[in-house]
Structure 1
Amino acid sequence: MRAWLILALGASLAGCSLWGGDSGKPKPADLGPNIPVLGVRQAWTARIGPVQEMPLAVHAGSGQLALASADGVVAVLDARTGGDVWRAALGVPLSAGVGSDGRYAAVVSRDNELIVLESGRVIWRKRLGAQVFTAPLVAGARVFVLGSDRSVSAWDAKNGTRLWNQVRPGDPLVLRQQGVLLAVGDTLVVGQSGRLVGMNPDTGVVRWEAPVASSRGTNDVERLVELVGPASRMDDAVCVRAFQAAVGCVNAARGNLQWAQRAGGGQGLGGNDIAVYGTESNGTLIAWRRSDGTRLWTSERLQHRRLTAPLALGRSVVVGDDTGWVHLLSREDGAPLNRLSPDGSAIAAQPVVAADTLVVVTRNGNVFGYRPD
């Protein structure tokens, strides 16, 4: 087990080494003066606590936001005001969070413990057999967990009874970042290695598998192939990124790959009904046509910045970077519309939208809500 953990850390560092380390990272180009084409104002601010390197997923739904800090604070905020709906301090560091269905919220501790809360109160805890870096999925009164060993398990959200567990052979290296785990209709959709897999959520039985990318290379790092989140879903079309290999879209109703294009990024995707947006490891932003994967445009304006997964929002594409900027770009061609600097620290996760509010979380643990002027 000790050797496996070291290899898991090695894969994480391998992802960072694509930049050549901080000393070898090219300097980002000066962005010039900000000329706001799209007016945005800060509506509120809140605090959750330092996020550090935890792969944070912010759950947005029904006008609320569920999020967590690396040191174990879990909170649900009102997206209209930024005020607490509830807040709980678990007292343990977290490795993944947050999944929620509006009633239950689920996180995983660094000690591999699945913790489920209701209205700010812990209702059960269960020990897991592997580390978890993907926020649990809470749906249909169940909690689904994707382990770093590519196991998938389902738990009764009310009492913590394990309903099923599916284990697949794992690779020696894994990524310490968010994977793919979502519900599409009556199918649980999971990323396992370079495949998108559709499962029966009641039993864990595999319904279909769609390969997005295949393993290649001569050593464990080069052969590593993993789907990374977040995914971009529109109806039955689920578009995903295979780490440093490809971007592709799968029809989750039929289980077939619609298209795949080579791409060299390490973060998940955003999108709308027209396009899928992704960021390459060198900071290039790319838009692909959702229907067939044709490249629509490329923007190199943000090169040499570590970018989050993009958010498609109205006429804009929103992306955060490691220097503390949030960029609003035109969804038509990537032209700048505005940029924001919440608190100067790196943006921690893909921006989200709830209650007509753009929400951004920084590595310092501050949460900012923005609305159009």
Structure 2
Amino acid sequence: MFNMSFSRFLCVVLTGVCVLAVTACASGSTAPKPVALEPTPTLLGVRQVWSAQLGSFNLPLQLKATGKTVAVASTTGQLAVIHADSGKALWRVDVGAPLSAGVGSDGRFAAVVTRENELVVFEQGLHPWRVRLNSQVFTAPLVAGERVFVLAADNSLTAFDAKNGQELWRNQRTSAALVLRQAGVLTAVGNTLIAGYSGRLLGMNPLNGNVIWDAPVATPRGTNDIERLVDMVAGVARQSVVLCVRAFQSGVGCVDAQRGQLNWKKSANGSLGLDGDAHQVYGVESDGQVVAWRQTDGEVAWKSDRLRYHQLSAPLVLGRSVVVGDESGLVHLLSRTDGTFTARLTTDGSPILTTPVAADGTLVVATSKGGIFGFRPE
């Protein structure tokens, strides 16, 4: 059940839909004090190798790693593709408007959505095209197979030709009473396009938008629209054809994307996405606990309260570690085995809100001040 005392809400009317923005906080003066950090661990040697600047950076914007590059966009509309080895921009453009969603990229095309509901797509930083959308968008477009797929806040999913912006098809689902101002699930496994709608994952034909399978992960419950909110949130743990996802403040579950079958689901109270490896799925709960669930059956393998009540990013699995950023710009590396600290890195002191990514052996994080930092093992 959603805990009203530990969240702040902002609703705006959007074509009959209420968009819910959620930030972690506590009411009054009862905010739990973040757990004191242990001394800086030195089990892993990691150092900063470069830094860059790209204006302010806030959710729901996301980093996108592709091969040896990372695409990043600022809230103010700066879009760049950075070489992960050096931090140098391969190209950089000004979109010309503040952004609400991005970046989607396949290494050739890069797609963002402005706050004025305009989809903008560049090819290697050139030849942009723009298309006006009917609704706000908070999920980064998916770029795949020379198509751009856009999941909007009104529960529509639209496919465009990546070269010229021609609309190829549109699938409109029933709009929910509330949707999150947060990136949702939009990905692909093989030839199946996968999107999150409320508490369900849908497998779709990317050529025409027809639904192939429908897998329920969470069931809306409660007495009001807020308590019944179970939107899927961005951050998918994928192993082969199995996708593990989180339903907002409701649960986590794993789905076989080949058969459209739910493998397991477990109750969980978090609002951020997941990552995983062959053995475990990792996530951050609303109180800052980091949890590892077994990949096979969803049973808890371990929990760590070492970062409890810190405001954390969603996790990244990298090497032997689970990586999360926090509200003070620190990057924490925890052991995948038991959640103990293995290293801690510093940035510019501003919150790390978006999920860190890895490209070409480099850990890349972005801060709310627009700092982009690259770290590599010593």
TM-score range, shorter chain: over 0.9
Q: For residue 366 of structure 1, what is the aligned residue in structure 2? A: 371
How many equivalent residue pairs?
368
Pick aligned residue for 1:195 from 200, 205, 217? 200
Structure 1 stretches of 4+ moved >4 Å = none
What amino acid is aligned across from residue 238 of structure 1 in structure 2? L
Q: Does the Cα contact within 8 Å between 1:4 and 1:172 map onto a contact in 2?
A: no
Pick aligned residue for 2:237 from 210, 232, 253? 232
Q: Does the Cα contact within 8 Å between 1:34 and 1:339 map onto a contact in 2?
A: yes
Q: CA deviation at 1:356?
A: 0.4
Q: For residue 4 of structure 1, what is the aligned residue in structure 2? A: 14
Return the TM-score normalized by structure 2.
0.95
| Rounded Cα–Cα distance in structure 2 between residues aligned with 1:214 and 1:201 | 26
Q: For residue 354 of structure 1, what is the aligned residue in structure 2? A: 359
**Pairing 1:49-128 to 2, within 5 Å after superposition:** 49-52=55-58, 54-128=59-133
Return the TM-score normalized by structure 1.
0.96
Q: CA deviation at 1:98?
A: 0.2
Q: Cα RMSD between the aligned structures?
A: 1.5
Pick aligned residue for 2:183 from 169, 175, 178? 178
Higher percent of residues as strand:
2
Q: CA deviation at 1:214?
A: 0.7
Equivalent residue of 2:79, what SS? strand
What amino acid is aligned across from residue 18 of structure 2 in structure 1? A
| Rounded Cα–Cα distance in structure 1 between residues aligned with 2:15 and 2:314 | 26
Q: Does the Cα contact within 8 Å between 1:305 and 1:323 map onto a contact in 2?
A: no
Pick aligned residue for 2:281 from 276, 297, 305? 276
Tell me: CA distance 1:124–1:88, structure 2 relative to 1, closer, same or farther (3 Å).
Answer: same
**Pairing 1:254-293 to 2, within 5 Å after superposition:** 254-293=259-298
Higher percent of residues as helix:
1
What amino acid is aligned across from residue 238 of structure 2 in structure 1? R
Equivalent residue of 2:18, what SS? helix
| Rounded Cα–Cα distance in structure 1 between residues aligned with 2:264 and 2:206 | 26
Q: For residue 43 of structure 2, what is the aligned residue in structure 1? A: 37
- Of the structure 1 ranges 137-146 and 120-129, higher mean CA displacement relative to structure 2 is found in 120-129
Q: CA deviation at 1:172?
A: 1.7
| Rounded Cα–Cα distance in structure 2 between residues aligned with 1:5 and 1:184 | 32
| Rounded Cα–Cα distance in structure 2 between residues aligned with 1:300 and 1:219 | 31
Q: CA deviation at 1:153?
A: 0.5
Tell me: CA distance 1:106–1:21, structure 2 relative to 1, closer, same or farther (3 Å).
Answer: farther
Q: For residue 309 of structure 1, what is the aligned residue in structure 2? A: 314
Q: Does the Cα contact within 8 Å between 1:184 and 1:236 map onto a contact in 2?
A: yes
| Rounded Cα–Cα distance in structure 2 between residues aligned with 1:6 and 1:27 | 39
| Rounded Cα–Cα distance in structure 2 between residues aligned with 1:82 and 1:98 | 17
Q: Does the Cα contact within 8 Å between 1:311 and 1:319 map onto a contact in 2?
A: yes
Give ranges in structure 2 of 5+ residues lacking alignment.
1-10
Q: Does the Cα contact within 8 Å between 2:194 and 2:201 map onto a contact in 1?
A: yes
Equivalent residue of 1:260, what SS? strand
Q: CA deviation at 1:152?
A: 0.5
Q: CA deviation at 1:4?
A: 3.4
Deviations 1:308-339 (A, max 9, x none): 11111111110111122110000000000011
